[in-house]
Structure 1
Amino acid sequence: MPIDASIFGNSSNFDARYIKDYDELARLTEHIKGVGLKVVLTSGSFDFYHLGHALYIEKAKEYGDVLIVGVDSDEKVRERKGLNRPLYPQDERLRILVCQRSVDIVTLKELNSTKWLLIKIVRPDILIATQETYSSEEIDELESEFCGKVVVLEPQAKTSTSSRLRDLNMELATDIGDRLAERIPGLVQEVIDEAVGRHDKPKENS
């Protein structure tokens, strides 16, 4: 299939850059590599998008010409991180990534996909991963069968989604505690006064 020039344009062009169908993605990446461009692939949930994500994506793009990003579906994120995640639905996370200057193509990674399916479809020249993604044995297998090279990136910033959520939860808990401490004594006194008033009220003769 011909390369849609709009994926290299300055605007987000979501309809051109988001490729849901893996067969279409396979044909496109084969064509891209056929004209001599180096394909880079990375994946993640990219929930609660922050500076660490942005720097990671920017660094990944330095390893090639076309950066493809696989985004975990809502079901996949819930399976990995709990029922209260993701904070942002998959459509929003896809669109946020498409708006990043370093990202050329995005696709969705479904919960029940077979192991390394996206990697096998794209067969990237460079696969970008975090330190906890693959074991050394898995990296050897990937490089021998499905990609040119695996590059493991260190965290690009101190912040993370999980740490930010912990901080927000702590701030919320502290705020609730302070507000309760201010209001509980008054509420307790109101309840006591009401109870005493009902007790002291003369009973009507039946």
Structure 2
Amino acid sequence: MSPTLKSVLQGKDWQDKYIANFEELEKIVKQLKEGGFSIALTQGVFDMFHVGHGRYLAEAGTYGDVLIVGVDSDELTRAMKGPKRPFDVFEERIEIISMLSSVSIVVKRDTDQHKYDLIKLVQPNVLIMSKTTSSFTEEDKKELSQYCGDIKHLEAKAATTTTAKTLRLMTEGAEELAVKIQQTVSDFLGGKK
């Protein structure tokens, strides 16, 4: 076992679990497969980390000896979710995810990569996807099956999502602002008499 692989598998902090590039990841995946490890893979933004994310990654970790998590860069997140996202920068998101015992390896997904690139590189025994993921169509899933032993679709693990939390915060903020505007206009017009 190479020192890098040993450091990843026995990693105590996020620097041990984070693989900075696909070339290094490819070497580690090869060593894992040669060592007989089964690999599960999942990917996502994991912004405003919440209990649903934790539960999802805990369950995903049960599908392999090693769980690799592809985390979307800030640029990729903005391209998919809009200019105001992510709320948490990439470095904070990977640090949080790396703290989970179910997560073995964390790698960055970026705008210069096709959405299949990480899956093609790892060719996991099990690809884990959330049933709420809309970026992969049924056609995509059929194509991906040639790179994976199996594809598992996990149910949402919490009653809320990051998007739902964002909308709630925006709505509540807008309601408070509307009340303040109404009061200000009323005070202003009342003073004109």
What is the TM-score of this pair, normalised by structure 1? Answer: 0.84
Q: Please list, as runs of the form range in 1=range in 2, the aligned pairs for 1:59-98 lying within 5 A after superposition.
A: 59-98=59-98
| 2-structure distance, mates of 1:127, 1:163 | 26
**Alignment partner of 2:140: what SS?**
helix
Q: Per-residue displacement from partner, 1:48-93 (whole Å, max 9, x unpaired)?
A: 1112211111110111111110011111111111111111111111
Name the aligned partner's letter for residue 39 of structure 2.
V
Which protein shows a greater Rg? 1
Residue 47 of structure 1 pairs with residue 41 of structure 2: no
- Cα distance 1:180–1:81, how it changes in 2: closer, same or farther (>3 A)? same
| 1-structure distance, mates of 2:135, 2:63 | 18
Q: Per-residue displacement from partner, 1:75-124 (whole Å, max 9, x unpaired)?
A: 11111111111111111111111112211110100112134111111111
Aligned residues: 190
Which shifted more, 75-84 or 172-181?
172-181
**Alignment partner of 2:48: what SS?**
coil
| Structure 2: segments with no counterpart, 5+ residues | none
Residue 162 of structure 1 pairs with residue 163 of structure 2: yes
Q: Per-residue displacement from partner, 1:123-182 (whole Å, max 9, x unpaired)?
A: 1111101233433333233222x1211111121122111111111111111212223333
| 1-structure distance, mates of 2:70, 2:27 | 16
Name the aligned partner's letter for residue 127 of structure 1.
L
Q: Please list, as runs of the form range in 1=range in 2, the aligned pairs for 1:114-153 lying within 5 A after superposition.
A: 114-131=114-131, 132-144=134-146, 146-153=147-154
**Would the aligned equivalents of 1:51 and 1:159 in 2 still touch at CA under 8 Å?**
no
Residue 57 of structure 1 pairs with residue 54 of structure 2: no
**Alignment partner of 1:70: what SS?**
strand
* Residue 4 of structure 1: how far off its partner (Å): 3.5
**Alignment partner of 2:19: what SS?**
coil
Q: Which runs of 4+ in 1 moved over 6 A?
A: none
**Alignment partner of 1:62: what SS?**
helix
| 2-structure distance, mates of 1:187, 1:101 | 58
| 1-structure distance, mates of 2:49, 2:98 | 12
* Residue 6 of structure 1: how far off its partner (Å): 3.6
* Residue 187 of structure 1: how far off its partner (Å): 3.0
C-alpha RMSD of the superposition: 1.9
What is the TM-score of this pair, normalised by structure 2? Answer: 0.89
The percent identity for this pair of structures is 34
**Would the aligned equivalents of 2:130 and 2:154 in 1 still touch at CA under 8 Å?**
yes
| 1-structure distance, mates of 2:135, 2:65 | 23
